[in-house]
Structure 1
Amino acid sequence: MKIEAPKIPEDLMERRFTDIFYEEEPEFEMCMVTDSEFVDEALERLRLYKTVIRNCNFTNTDFNRIDLTDVRFENCDLSNANLSNASMNRVEFHNCKLLGSNLTKSFIGNTRFVESILNMVMFSNSKLEKVTFNDTLLERADFFDCKLKKVEFLSCNINGASFEETPLKEIDISTSEFDSLIVSMENLKGCKVSTSQAIQFASLLGLKIQR
């Protein structure tokens, strides 16, 4: 699956994240933000465009209605952050932590999560299109009533994840691992699974497989 990468120029202006308070609008464009602490803050309708965010801490911060276009996060902590009603297009998260973060009612497109921790993240009522989770922890993540289109879970841990009310047709989980999932058999139709996963699902149905 081809995902559009963030379109970020090489010549970026160095900024501290707290500089956002000196802007007329809460937005950064063509910036490089590094080593910033922005914890327990609230900043609604933040807009980041053609920007790299590196080694920053945003734990417990309220970024409701955040708008991200052509953005790359590297080694950042967004645990327990409120990112609900977000709009993301051409965004990458590399080695980031979003433990327990809120991404409900969001649109997430052309986005990669790579070697990141998304345990207990809430995606409920969101639309994900052209999204790849690669080598990412998604234990007990909540995908309740989501619309998933061209979404891949590559070598992820999705144990205990909930896909209630979310159709998994054409969604590939074949390389990921889990002991249990919360999903109805109806919504599992057309999901791409491995042979061993098929056996797991069969056992959940009470089928006895003869070897």
Structure 2
Amino acid sequence: MPSNHSAPVKIVKPKLPKQLEPLILSDAGVDDEASFEQSTCQDETLSYVAANKVLFDQMIFNNVTFQHVSLHHAELTDIVFNHCDLSNVDLSEAIMYRVQFNHCKILGLDLTAATIRNVLFDHCTGDYATLRFANMKQVSFQSTSLVKSDFYHSELSKVEFLDCQIDQSQFSGTKLAGIDLSRTDFHNIGVTLEDLQGCIISPHQAIPLTKIFGLVVKE
């Protein structure tokens, strides 16, 4: 008998060297086209930075807070964020390969038009996050809150949502064929009937979805 759930998404982990040099990012000068690699940043705050095309490669960020930070067209490869606060950081049009966000605050994180590959969001708070026009492949959201987040006209391929809150999130224009939403919690989401074609849901989600389209369910 075929399973009602999609196959688990395989996420390639960040490839990191055994030795990483300590780096105080706030003292390093984050300017246009700056490059940082094989480093670890610990217990610091980076504030009021606006730069384009910054490169981060093979790095670990532990308990780092980003305040009023805008990094357009940034490239992040083989990166781990642990217990970091990236709330309202502008990473629009970023390119992200093999990145992990573990127990991070990503409230209002802007990933508009970002290219996202092999990325894990694990136990994060991502309400109001913006992923409009993002291109995502092999991405896993696990035990993450995405209330009122925005996936408008995104491209999703091998993307999973496991034990996530997506209430009042916007998915209009995003094809959800093959996407498993059965382990998400929501009362209302922005979506069209066409977008839902081929989407995997649980029986208890059928009622809120029918109400979205104006149908009356007689019990």
TM-score normalised by length of structure 1: 0.95
Q: Does 1:34 align with 2:50?
A: no
- Map of 1:36-75 to 2, 5 A cutoff? 36-75=44-83
- 202 and 88 in structure 1: CA distance in 2 versus 1, 3 angstrom threshold: same
How far off is 1:36 after superposition? Answer: 1.7
Higher strand share: 2
User: Residue in 1 aligned with 2:20?
Assistant: 12
Range with greater deviation from structure 2 (156-165 or 54-63): 54-63
| Residue 208 of structure 2, aligned match among 186, 200, 204 | 200
Q: Is the 8 A contact 2:108 2:126 kept in 1?
A: yes
CA distance in 1, matches of 2:23, 2:86: 19
Range with greater deviation from structure 2 (44-53 or 199-208): 199-208
User: Residue in 2 aligned with 1:81?
Assistant: 89
| Residue 138 of structure 1, aligned match among 146, 151, 158 | 146
How far off is 1:148 after superposition? Answer: 0.5
Give unmatched runs, 5+ long, in structure 1.
none
Amino acid at match of 1:7: K
Q: Is the 8 A contact 2:34 2:54 kept in 1?
A: yes
How far off is 1:40 after superposition? Answer: 2.0
Range with greater deviation from structure 2 (158-167 or 23-32): 23-32
Give unmatched runs, 5+ long, in structure 2.
1-8
Q: Give SS of 2:172's match.
A: coil
User: Residue in 2 aligned with 1:94?
Assistant: 102
TM-score normalised by length of structure 2: 0.91
| Residue 147 of structure 1, aligned match among 155, 178, 185 | 155
CA distance in 1, matches of 2:177, 2:168: 19
C-alpha offsets along residues 138-161 of structure 1, whole Å, 9 cap, x if unaligned?
Answer: 000001111010110100000000
User: Residue in 1 aligned with 2:167?
Assistant: 159
- 23 and 208 in structure 1: CA distance in 2 versus 1, 3 angstrom threshold: closer
The RMSD of aligned alpha carbons is 1.6
Range with greater deviation from structure 2 (160-169 or 194-203): 194-203
